[in-house]
């Protein structure tokens, strides 16, 4: 029962008491009529209150409609995109361009006067496999070969065994043209020249493997 209903019932009871104990009532019939009226009013009030309460209970007990829980939509997982691979020819072209940029002076262009490097070419058929200091002139020709301690080399066989960087690039390209069984090349990340080159023309043949190393290339 609500607070409003309790207050109304209390008022009706007070009226009933006032009627019963009213000393100024003129007759017993009037008092009885008043009592009867108050009682009837009290009954009607309780009947309405009961109906209202029942109606409220029915509203409270009315089952709520259940809605099926919607499952969150699953966004498709994007498959990682594989990074494009560079072919050996593209890698060759890229590093050849780096080398050309380096020998031209890059952003500080200057007249080309050649370069120096440490060059080593190994083969089982030639005994010239030590590293040498090689100087290449502005005409892109080997014109000075020294041992690592600076001693000049006068052996024509050793001098002819040396190669310029451009000649090594050509050796690599020729190995592909000639369908070598194995060609493994690494390049200098900044200057572009080959640093390690291993070529095996025929894996079934002996003594045809060539290994070339180039280090410390500097402009003159």
Contact (CB, 8 A) for 126 and 161: yes
Residue scoring higher pLDDT (142 or 40) = 142
- Distances in Å between the Cα of 128 and the Cα atoms of 3, 63, 164 are 113, 98, 16
Q: Considering the domain boundaries, does residue 68 fall inside one? A: no
Q: Considering the domain boundaries, does residue 78 fall inside one? A: no
Separation of alpha carbons 118 and 162, rounded Å: 10
Residues 171 and 107 in one domain: yes
Q: Considering the domain boundaries, does residue 208 fall inside one? A: yes
Residue scoring higher pLDDT (32 or 132) = 132
With a cut of 70, say whether residue 77 has pLDDT above it: no
Separation of alpha carbons 146 and 153, rounded Å: 5
Residues 115 and 213 in one domain: yes
Does this model's pTM top 0.75? My answer is no
Residues 135 and 35 in one domain: no
Residues 93 and 50 in one domain: no
Domain total of the chain: 2
Residues 104 and 183 in one domain: yes
State whether residue 186 is helix, strand or coil. strand
Q: Considering the domain boundaries, does residue 73 fall inside one? A: no
* Pairs from 68-75 (Cβ < 8 Å, separation ≥ 24): none
Q: Sign of dihedral through CA atoms 168, 171, 173, 175?
A: negative
Residues 44 and 97 in one domain: no
Q: Considering the domain boundaries, does residue 82 fall inside one? A: no
Cβ count near 97 (within 10 Å): 11
With a cut of 60, say whether residue 108 has pLDDT above it: yes
Separation of alpha carbons 210 and 45, rounded Å: 115
Residues 99 and 207 in one domain: yes
Residues 24 and 122 in one domain: no
pLDDT 10s digits, 164-186: 999 999 999 999 999 999 999 99
With a cut of 50, say whether residue 21 has pLDDT above it: no
Residues 51 and 112 in one domain: no
Provide the residue range defining the domain that includes 133.
88-219
Residue with tokens 């440490």: 118
End-to-end CA separation in angstroms for the chain: 107
Calculate the average pLDDT of the chain: 78
pLDDT 10s digits, 144-167: 999 999 999 999 999 999 999 999
Tokens of residue 31, six digits:
């008092």
Q: Considering the domain boundaries, does residue 101 fall inside one? A: yes
Q: Considering the domain boundaries, does residue 65 fall inside one? A: no
Residues 115 and 46 in one domain: no
The pLDDT value given to residue 139: 94
Residues 25 and 93 in one domain: no
DSSP per-residue codes, 67-90 = -PPPPPPPPPPPPPPPPPPPPHHH
């Amino acid at each position: 029962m609500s607070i409003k209903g309790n207050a109304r019932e209390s008022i009706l009871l007070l009226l009933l008491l006032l009627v019963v104990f009213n000393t100024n009532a003129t007759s017993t019939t009037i008092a009885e009529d008043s009592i009867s009226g108050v009682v009837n009013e009290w009954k009607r009030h309780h009947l309405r209150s009961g109906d209202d309460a029942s109606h409220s209970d029915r509203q409270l007990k009315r089952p709520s409609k259940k809605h099926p829980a919607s499952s969150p939509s699953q966004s498709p997982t994007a498959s990682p995109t594989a990074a494009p691979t560079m072919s050996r020819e593209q890698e060759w072209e890229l590093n050849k361009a780096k080398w050309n940029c380096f020998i031209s002076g890059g952003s500080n262009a200057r007249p080309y006067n050649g370069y120096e490097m440490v060059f080593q070419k190994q083969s089982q058929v030639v005994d010239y496999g030590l590293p040498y200091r090689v100087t290449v002139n502005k005409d892109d020709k080997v014109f000075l070969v020294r041992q690592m301690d600076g001693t000049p080399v006068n052996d024509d066989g050793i001098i002819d065994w040396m190669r310029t960087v451009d000649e090594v690039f050509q050796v690599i390209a020729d190995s592909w043209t000639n369908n070598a069984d194995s060609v493994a090349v690494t390049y200098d990340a900044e200057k572009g020249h080959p640093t390690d080159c291993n070529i095996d023309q025929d894996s079934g043949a002996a003594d045809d493997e060539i290994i070339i190393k180039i280090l410390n290339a500097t402009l003159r």
